[in-house]
């Protein structure tokens, strides 16, 4: 069985029951003028994750893994965006406001889409989510269960949001939510 060096132990996986989950590799997070920049992030640092993620994506496709992409974004009327999230940061140009790539974090806008270098193939599911969590208010869990997926390899520019800040950062990063569903998982640190 293929194996990945990981902590606290080696991550063994069967390609038939493993999925690559590519988290939020959207223009709004990695390109200038998007939400990432509005939050004060240096998006040039985030954009550096695109090429390593492209290599991981190519390897996963070549190995026959199921690839699932996520996108954080909201309905055009913002009915799925909590008021606290809208107010976050008291940004002059925040969620739903016009930006260089269309309305920020709005589904269907140019900025909401995945960067060209990582575009999903026609048979790769894209999970649209209204918040940070890929399992909250989405069909990701049923998508994984219905395909017999028991292990996740996780990457993406905002994957670090899923890593708890409980002292394990830099030691043993882990994802909380997939474990609650009984999934084995590993976070790829070299591409974050």
Residue 100's contacts (CB-CB under 8 Å, 6 or more residues apart) are 32, 33, 34, 111
Strand intervals (E) in the chain? 3-4, 11-12, 18-23, 66-72, 98-99, 102-103, 126-129, 151-156, 184-187
Q: Do 67 and 88 form a contact (C-beta atoms < 8 A)?
A: no
Q: Do 175 and 185 form a contact (C-beta atoms < 8 A)?
A: yes
Catalytic residues: 24, 129, 162
- The closest of 51, 56, 46, 55 to 26, measured between CA atoms, is 46
- Write the DSSP symbol of residue 42: -
């Amino acid at each position: 069985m293929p194996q990945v060096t990981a902590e606290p132990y080696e991550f063994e996986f069967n390609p038939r029951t493993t999925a690559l989950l590519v988290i939020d590799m959207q223009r709004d997070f990695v390109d200038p003028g998007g939400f990432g920049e509005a939050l004060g992030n240096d998006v040039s640092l985030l954009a550096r994750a695109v090429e390593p993620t492209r290599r991981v994506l190519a390897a996963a496709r070549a190995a026959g893994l199921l690839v699932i992409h996520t996108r954080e974004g909201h309905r055009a009327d913002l009915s799925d965006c909590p008021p606290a999230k809208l107010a976050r940061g008291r940004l002059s140009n925040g969620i739903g406001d016009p930006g260089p790539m269309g309305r920020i974090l709005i589904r269907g806008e140019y900025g909401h889409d995945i960067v060209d270098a990582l575009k999903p193939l026609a048979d790769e599911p894209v999970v649209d989510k209204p918040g940070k969590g890929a399992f909250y208010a989405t069909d990701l869990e049923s998508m994984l269960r219905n395909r017999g997926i028991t292990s996740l390899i996780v990457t993406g520019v905002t994957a670090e949001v899923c890593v708890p800040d409980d002292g394990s950062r830099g030691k043993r990063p882990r994802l909380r939510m997939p474990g609650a569903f009984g999934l084995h998982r590993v976070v790829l640190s070299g591409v974050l």
